[in-house]
Amino acid sequence: MIFSRELWIEIGHTVIANPMRTALTGLSVGLGIFILVVMQGLGFGLQNGVQQDFGDEASNSLWIRTNRTTLPFRGRQANRSIELRNADKEILTEKLFETPLHSARRMLWGSTIQAENEEGRFAVVGVNEDYDQLESIPLVSGRWLHQEDVAQSAKVCVIGQTIVDDLFKKKNPIGEYIRLRNVTFRVIGTFSRSGSRWTNSMALIPITTLQRVFEGADQVGRVIVSTGERSVEEASAMASMADGALRARHAVHPDDQRAVRVEDNNEQFAMYQRIFMGIRLFIWVIGGFTLFAGAIGVANIMSIVVKERTVEIGVRKALGATSGSIVTLIVVEAIALTSISGILGMIAGVLTLEFVAPFAEHDYFSNPAVNLNVTLTALGVLVLSGALSGLAPALRAVRIRPIEALRYE
């Protein structure tokens, strides 16, 4: 019966004969799915953007840096420059607490790098061997810095894709030599981070080499420490210990917020996770109300449809049509309308997100994806609502005797 050609021809004739009714039914369903898809995509876009930003740095890490003081303390004037040094890193990573991964990071901006006949200005960054795991550096070719490279102050480097493209063109740079600030280094690896020209414009070298060859000092710039498997509370305590140790060592006022900064990625990531949970709940609530409104709209329209066709139902029954065939006709019509309208609404929502995505790309908004399972579930709910919306009034209508239906106005 459902796959009967005559059934679908009759449904098509009914739809075409009532364009306004069909349009209102389709709009109520399609709009509900469209709003759900767009809101879901925007929510995921925000989540993807923040997670991508966190993906650059390990979420279980502390980033420790210093600046100038803003308050006098212990007989010392404000505006003193606080510099992190090797001894500070040793206290943080070896004496204060055990940590599985750690790295210093010191950056020399605008350094001239030469390769054969090509030249450019890029950032030279001194790091330890664990740095790639603390800031997610995707290796493309060659190898990463080893512990021996740092221990021996080796003149080796891992360069970003921008440097590869600008200085080596299509040539493989592994094993080649470049000049960093007129000092010769051997390229041992290349990396590339998607969408980050700034990171890809770095040449990473051992921190000991940078200190020995270029700086002539023991400054480390900042210290990055992994918190391992510690909980958010344990990581927060770890951050407080690091902050207190550095303030005591460098005589920094407890209320000076600029001189010593310990950024706890664990706490920030947990906060964003709570925000994402709230966003997802908001999307479900708004989407649920939207779908409910769509289902109510379908129910009202189908009730009117069946009421308008009471006389037609009476004629059909008088001509010998069974109650089952009449109910099937109405229910299949409702399912067809809600299915087609829902699919069109879903397609419109996806196309809208695809159109908007390139213009909305931002550090904290990226790739507004759609959860297909959620969307199909919502579509299924609406289709089921459409079927039930057609079923209830159809059952009431077929219970009317043909003679009464024919008299109905």
For 303-333, give one letter per residue: b (16+ CB within 10 A) or e. Answer: bebbeebbeebbebbeeeeeeeebbbbbbbb
Domain ranges in the chain are: 5-54+270-407, 61-265
CA distance 39 to 42: 5
* Residue type present at position 353: L
pLDDT at 171 over 80: yes
Q: Which long-range contacts (CB under 8 A, 24 or more apart) does 280-288 make?
A: 280/43, 282/43, 283/36, 283/39, 283/40, 283/43, 286/35, 286/39, 287/35, 287/36, 287/39, 287/40, 287/378
- pLDDT score, position 268: 75
- Dmax (CA) for the chain in angstroms is 106
Secondary structure element (H or E) that encloses residue 260, with its range: strand 260-264
| Radius of gyration in angstroms for the set of CA atoms belonging to the chain, rounded to a whole number | 33
* Per-residue pLDDT tens digits for 9-54: 666 666 666 677 677 777 777 777 787 777 777 777 776 666 665 5
pLDDT digits (tens, 9 = 90+) for 85-95: 999 999 988 87
Span 329-347, average pLDDT:
80
CA–CA separation, 34 and 37 (whole Å): 5
Reported as a single tens digit per residue, the pLDDT across 92-108 is 888 787 788 999 999 99
Please give the model's pTM, rounded to 2 decimal places. 0.65
